[in-house]
Chain A
Amino acid sequence: DAKTTQPPSMDCAEGRAANLPCNHSTISGNEYVYWYRQIHSQGPQYIIHGLKNNETNEMASLIITEDRKSSTLILPHATLRDTAVYYCIVSSGGSNYKLTFGKGTLLTVNP
């Protein structure tokens, strides 16, 4: 079973920031938080990952709470092409080759 909990769906207006929450209350000290997204019928796409510090790349920012029990993926300026299912996954080194996907959050970006 997936070790994360995400809302099934969220809406966001185009141009606004999309904030996608994820609960991972049973995360272990050596487990990272990964985010992937899947645009309809395509293969999942890696977005970002982090251990305990906040991370930012060209796609998104990842904010992890101090107790590491939850995190938020932030898409700073959502576009229609960001409409996808977003998966939050916790994984330790060596387990990254057998990811356990939950149901994810369907983010719909509206014009």
Chain B
Amino acid sequence: KAGVTQTPRYLIKTRGQQVTLSCSPISGHRSVSWYQQTPGQGLQFLFEYFSETQRNKGNFPGRFSGRQFSNSRSEMNVSTLELGDSALYLCASSPVVSSTDTQYFGPGTRLTVL
């Protein structure tokens, strides 16, 4: 099975712009979670989607949003980019079969905000 794929892998934006990142989960996986990783804050949970609905949300401002499509693919959007949004954005998928589902992470999208 193909793993979790994320596009693009690298992105450079300027302050004030918006960006959309894409994640394709492993085939058959229905949950998609997003994380932000920075040197200062580490890995932080952004939000999680299941059946096109946001089930969980981390402590991030409303500039960060996401959605999930009927084929489980997910996108996240960051509006009005700030320098502090420079980070590695990771997507993870889970099958949603048991209470001990593990997450399978993609390679991430490296976002640089100038």
Query: A interface vs B, CB < 8 Å?
Result: 32, 34, 41-46, 49, 87, 92-94, 96-103
Contact = CB atoms under 8 A, between A and B. Distances in A.
B105 A94 contact: no
A110 to B, nearest CB: 24
Given A32-B100, A43-B90, A46-B102, A103 B42 contact: yes
Contact of B107 (A43, A94, A99, A103): A43
A96 B99 contact: yes
A46 B100 contact: no
Contacts of B71: none
A102 B48 contact: no
B88 interface: yes
Nearest to B94: A97
B24 to A, nearest CB: 13
B28 interface: no
Contacts of A34: 102
A interface secondary structure, majority: loop
A42 B91 CA distance: 11
A41 B88 contact: yes
A97 B103 contact: yes
A102 B45 CA distance: 12
29 contacts: A34-B102, A41-B88, A41-B110, A42-B107, A43-B4, A43-B105, A43-B106, A43-B107, A43-B108, A44-B43, A44-B90, A44-B92, A44-B103, A45-B105, A46-B103, A46-B104, A93-B100, A96-B99, A96-B101, A96-B102, A97-B31, A97-B50, A97-B55, A98-B56, A99-B43, A100-B45, A101-B35, A101-B42, A101-B43
Output the residue of A44, A92, A93, A97 with the most chain B CB within 10 A: A97
